[in-house]
Amino acid sequence: MSRPVVIKVGGSLLDWPELATTLERYLRTRHAERLVIVVGGGAVTDVVRTLDHTHTLGQERSHALALRSLDLTAHLLAAIVPNLAVTDRIEAFETVWAASRVPILAPRRFLDEVDALSSDPIPHTWEATSDSIAARLADALNSPELVLLKSASLPPKVDRPLAAQLGLVDPLFPNSARGLVRVTYLNLRDSLPIPIPLPL
C-alpha cells in the first residue's frame, strides 16, 4: 500500500467562498493517491486565543480548547466538500479510503495518544499551530509529502526557517517538520496555484 500524503488546509482559507470548489478541484488532481487532511483553526481558533487573553485561561486549558476548535473546523470542511470524512483515529483511515473518501483528522486524540508519547511532543503553546500538527502527522505516517495549502504566496528562495520568520508557517514548524524530506507549499487562492518546494 502506498503511504498517504498529508494535506494541511490553512485556517485562513475557511472564510473564502471559493474554498469548497477550489479544494475539490485540487483533490481531484491527486485522486490516484491516498490522502489525509488536517484543517487549521482560522477565526474559530482566534476566538479561543482572544478568550485566553481576556480570561488568562493558561496554556493547558487554552491548548485543550484550541484543539476542540480544530475538531469543529474539520467537521466544517467535511460539510462543504464532498467525499471527506472526519475521524479522530489513524486506524480508521483505511476504512475511509476503502469507501473512496478522504479522511480529515480531528487531531486531539492523535496529540494525546501518539504525539504526547514521542520524545519531543508538540508543546502546549500558541506558537504551535495546525502546521506543526500536520507535520507531526506526516512524520508519524511516514508520508512521502506534506502539502501546505495557504492564502499567501511563498517568496522565492524561502526555506522552512525563513518561512517561519515571515509568518507563513508557525514558529515551531521547522522543528516539527525536520524529519520530512518533501514539503510543498501552495497558495490555493492563486488563479493558477503552483506547488513550490519548501526545503529544509
Digit-coded pLDDT (tens) for 83-92: 999 999 999 9
Cα 38 versus chain centre, distance: 4
Residue 184 pLDDT class (50, 70, 90 cuts): very high
CA distance to 34, 41, 137, 145, 183, per residue, from 180 (Å): 17, 23, 11, 7, 7
Looking at the structure of the chain, the number of domains it has is 1
- Decide if 184 contacts 195 (C-beta within 8 A): yes
Boundaries of domain holding 35: 5-197
Residue 179, domain CATH: 3.40.1160.10
Q: Within 13 A of 176's CA, how many CA atoms are on the CB side?
A: 25
pLDDT, tens digit, 9 for 90 and up, residues 115-138 = 778 888 888 999 999 999 999 999
- Comparing 187 with 120, which gets the higher pLDDT? 187
Count of residues in the chain:
200
Among 70-84, 106-120, 142-156, name the one with the lowest average pLDDT.
Answer: 106-120
* Start-end of H helices in the chain: 19-29, 42-55, 59-80, 93-98, 108-113, 130-140, 160-165, 173-176
Please say if the pLDDT value at position 1 is more than 70: no
Mean pLDDT of the chain: 95
Please say if the pLDDT value at position 42 is more than 80: yes
